[in-house]
Amino acid sequence: MLSPLVLATVVGMIVLYPWGKPSPTSQISQGTPVHASIAKTATGPCLAQGQVQVGDQTDPGAKPCLTVELTMTDGPASGKPLRLTVPIEPSTPRFAAGDAVVLAYNGGNAADPSSFQLIDFQRGTPLLILAALFAVAVLVLGRWQGLAALGALVLSFAVIALFILPAILAGENPLLVAIVASGAIMFIALYLTHGLTARTSAAVLGTLVSLALIGVLSAVFSAAASLTGLDDSTSTLIASLGHGIDARGLLLAGVVIGALGVLDDVTVTQTSAVWELRRANPDLTWKELYSSGLRIGRDHVGSAVNTLVMAYAGAALPVLLYSSISGIGLGALLGSEDIAQEIIRTLAGSVGIVAAVPVTTILAALIASREPATHLSSTTKLAESHA
């Protein structure tokens, strides 16, 4: 049953991939990133020449600046000292001696400080340590299945980086790209992690149906609400590319991809519950399996919906804070582009999660009730031995 869907996913990826097309480049360049280490910092008023007078300030109202002495660790001036002046604004990061930082090099004279701009911190080491801790935790608890889950995660990121991003940047329809990529990620993640079994296939079918529902609801209500998808990040992307992009399609693509992970969790849990119920009592009919599984699903769906809502609320927290101090009424606040996007994203995803429970449960009940009890026992023992 799923073979045509797998084939359609593969064909879709082949058709949508930008074969031979040059990769688009940004029309707005911040320069080449280079690394440096801060040796010393000092604060003083900003002078007209871009220099800093350190010590007593003759003008108490002078705008403060930070003078930063750095040592370049790579790039065209590797090993050489550099002094930069950074205006101190509320949005400026607080740099200090000992910080490993990133500079933007505009390609000019490497001996001229104006060729560099201090833009960010280096974060590679803490990110790698956290990733290693995550991998160890997954392996300790999941063992071989945890290793399979990590492999599926790596492949999922590969689909995003090597297919979704190039295809959308090449001008393909973002929603269509997201649907095809979500299918690929779903097949890879579920079958690699949980094996080529009827149980996994039931979860795949439930995920597909729910994902389709989320896509339809998002498309219908984003059009009804006249959402453009042109938030700050999308507008910056369009300005950087120098050509148009389907902003609403990009919004819908984000909804589909964002809901996929939570859907996988719900559908796998439901199929596992039904199979365990069938294994515990092989005499249960599919209707009894469905009723029992649905009772389990009701408990799960509440926490899953709350997870999705909190995830989107957390991602949109700066927008919510900015909107809350804008002085407009609640109705206007909820109807603004940025907030309305998150509302539709959250509610459409939540409806899909709620629908995933009965859809997946009935599919799992129908399939599990037709499997011999001996086959169920041997499959479970095999899974436990791998774990």
Which residue range(s) make up the domain with 107?
A: 32-122
Q: State the pLDDT confidence band at 47, using cuts at 50, 70 and 90.
A: low
Q: pTM value?
A: 0.79
Q: Are residues 328 and 195 in the same domain?
A: yes
Q: Which of 61, 90, 122 is the last residue of a domain?
A: 122
CB atoms within 10 A of CB 87: 11
Q: State the pLDDT confidence band at 28, using cuts at 50, 70 and 90.
A: low
The whole-number average pLDDT for the span 172-185 is: 92
Q: Look at residue 330 in the predicted model and tell me its pLDDT.
A: 63
Least confident of 18-22, 77-81, 117-121: 18-22
Does residue 23 sit within a domain? no
Q: Greater confidence, 234 or 57?
A: 234
Does residue 341 sit within a domain? yes
pLDDT tens per residue across span 244-296: 788 888 989 988 988 888 888 889 999 999 999 999 888 889 999 999 999 98
Q: Are residues 99 and 238 in the same domain?
A: no
> How many domains are contained in the chain?
2
Q: Are residues 45 and 160 in the same domain?
A: no
Q: State the pLDDT confidence band at 62, using cuts at 50, 70 and 90.
A: low
Q: State the pLDDT confidence band at 355, using cuts at 50, 70 and 90.
A: very high
Q: Are residues 93 and 201 in the same domain?
A: no
Q: Are residues 109 and 191 in the same domain?
A: no
Q: Greater confidence, 236 or 81?
A: 81
What CATH number is associated with residue 267?
1.20.1640
Q: Look at residue 48 in the predicted model and tell me its pLDDT.
A: 47
Q: Are residues 380 and 309 in the same domain?
A: yes
pLDDT tens per residue across span 329-340: 667 767 777 778
Does residue 353 sit within a domain? yes
The whole-number average pLDDT for the span 21-47 is: 80
Q: Look at residue 381 in the predicted model and tell me its pLDDT.
A: 47
Given a cut of 50, is residue 29 above it in pLDDT? yes
Does residue 8 sit within a domain? no
Q: Look at residue 364 in the predicted model and tell me its pLDDT.
A: 93
Given a cut of 90, is residue 9 above it in pLDDT? yes
